[in-house]
Amino acid sequence: MIKDGMIVGERYEIVSKVGTGGMADVYKAKDHKLNRFVAMKVLKQEFREDTTFIKKFKTEAQSAAGLTHPNVVNVFDVGEDQGIHYIVMELVEGITLKEYISKKGKLSVKEATSIAIQVSMGLEAAHDHGVVHRDVKPQNIIISTDGKVKVTDFGIARAASSNTISSNVMGSVHYSSPEQVRGGYSDEKSDIYSLGITMYEMVTGVVPFEGDTTVSIAIKHLQEEMEPPSDYTPDLPFSLEQIIFKCTQKSVDRRYPNMEEVIADLKHSLIDPQGDFVKLSPLNTDGKTVVFQGEDIDAIKKNNVVREVPPLAAEEDHYDSSDDYGDDGFVEDDDEDMGGGLNRRLEKAMTIGGFIIGALIIGVLIVLIGNAAGLFSFGPSSTSGKKDVAKQTEVPEDGEMVETPDLVGKTEEEATKIVKELYLGLQYTEEETSDTYAKGLICSQEIEPGTKVQKYTTIKYKLSSGSAMLTLPDVVGGSQEEAERTLKDMGFTVSITKSYSYDHEIGTVMSMTPAAGTQSTSGEMVTLEVSMGNEYENAMVPDVIGMDETAAKAALAAFNVIVESSTSETTPQGQVMSQSIAEGVYAEKGSSITITVSTGSGSTPTASPEAGETGGADTTQAPESGDASGTWKCTQTLDTPATYTGGMVKMELVQEVDNSPVVDTIMEGKTIDFPYQLDITGEAGISEGTLYLYELIGSDYMELGHYPISFQKVD
């Protein structure tokens, strides 16, 4: 008995049991030789005495051990220790595809296609090594926690003897190919069929054939056509549905010849979902549905080609397969003659059925053609004969025909939506120049609009690469946004420059280079000059009377403030008595406003600045001539410049020192919030200066405005 902590094969320590299946239990084990965790599948006790089974079990496990591929659960070791027969495999943390489908109901097209491609690549690697899986189903496909898809239990199905009955048979028969059901030879194409059924389940959430017993399901694989997956998933791409149809053809000759072609078409379907590129071989007698008679069905039951078991709970073993199948994919009977006799009866039934169906078809055609030609009549009169035939055949006037839409002038996205609703495909061919349609628009289509075509027809189209020579439109006077969109839609590259203007509003295009009407090629550069508005825009003058001098200057930051002093019997010392421009008046930013500050009663007023001076400093605190001591500061507040767009700014201070301008950079390469409180230290003894404010536009600083400011001695 296997217990936790037990050492098997002198290197594998059993950690815990992770699952169980029909013929084996699966354990998580620690490989002490390579210091890694592995999955160990241990044969159940009841099968350890069957030497033939054990031999086949080991042979197939060793064959699978030769596979190394990212999409295969790799087999590391196979052995026996004290009567325990085991296979050591890669430990994959994750869930089976069956569990994943159960949780999600059905998968998206892209997800299902991606999983199918990875499964196909794993199967391709196995087929290249001569290993046929024979039991491809969602239960044997693991999706790891990191999203990788891996196929497990390669070759295990072939190891089962005729004495074993698995609880997985009911699950596996849903995915078995017709040749496996008939007990015939199975090869790579059997895996392709099972993959097709798995894809069907991924995109629909259901298997195509259901029944109360394994026998009823098996017979459906032989003689019933499955419902199109698009009946369950109406938005399923045409190309993916055709791939599923080709994989699940009952005749092996009509399926894909190998996994390489399956992978190629799956990848193609991602690029061209509605494309008609999947080609089915013409239907022949071998591909016709086989109709079984009662005695044939009884023979299937009697000879146990499929053993009937009750449906069981969902499979818990992530690593287990339908471990109990023979070379044909189903449990074999010991009496080989009985199986051979059944095959001969099936072949005979198929041949006779083919002759009967062929004769019936020929007879129906003769009757229809003869009645249409007036050779016989089955209606009340020969006049109504054709109408009666039309009714009997139940063919609509247009059948599955739809009218081709007009896609010219549409974007690819718009065209895709249109054709999808009509069940048509869309295929890009090439670009061509067009004087009529902008770059990126459909400029021509192969099938003329209004043409009646069958559903799922692919419409080929060409995209405009723009005109060889385009005429530049006149965008001057319009907004920058509209001008850019117009020019880019035509295929031009647009460059923007900005400058101040008294005549154009902010954001208006003032000029363009090359000029409107010029002939130019798609992709050429067009430069637009855009207005930044008036450099000196008007601002409303606030009421500063009653404020102290500092607060008044802050409120009038947009203007050049001149301070005068005067005695007052009514206004407290330090408060503004009057202002030269009344409140509510709009004045040009930067213009001068004089405020009169009270010195109280009996004080001698100081002289105001001489005419022509632009200083804004409080003359009551002006330094004596030649006084260059202490620290001189400006703490005025700047309002938001009208043309500021939120970019990085630069500030420069210009002051006259000894009749020469001195320029200091106060700030550069920073973003600030307006209103902005200045804190500038100027030249000692200089009470005025001019602040220049710039914004970084592109790679250059553009002036937003310049402001006269005043300084006061603070110590």
Pick from 331, 327, 332: nearest CA to 132:
327
Catalytic residue among 25, 31, 77, 135: 135
Pairing type for strands 452-454 and 401-403 reads antiparallel
Pick from 259, 316, 319, 317: nearest CA to 75:
319
13 - beta bridge partners?
7, 30
**Whole-angstrom distance, CA of residue 101 vs CA of residue 143:** 11
Considering Cα of 219, then 224, then 226, then 231, what sign does the dihedral take?
Answer: negative
Helix (H/G/I), strand (E/B), else coil: 577: strand
Active site (annotated) includes residue 335: no
Task: Write the DSSP symbol of residue 182.
Answer: T
The CA–CA distances, whole Å, from 558 to 185, 205, 538, 677, 707 equal 94, 71, 9, 12, 7
Cis peptide before 380 (omega within 30 of 0): no
Phi first, then psi, for residue 594 (nearest 5°) are: -100, 130
Angle between helices 214-223 and 294-303 (to 10 degrees): 130
* Phi-psi sector, 450: left (phi>0), alpha (psi -120 to 50), beta: left
H-run or E-run covering 392: helix 385-393
**Whole-angstrom distance, CA of residue 114 vs CA of residue 116:** 5
Residue 284 tokens, joined: 């022949």
Please check whether residue 203 is in contact with residue 236, taking contact to mean a CB–CB distance below 8 angstroms: yes
- Annotated catalytic residues are 135
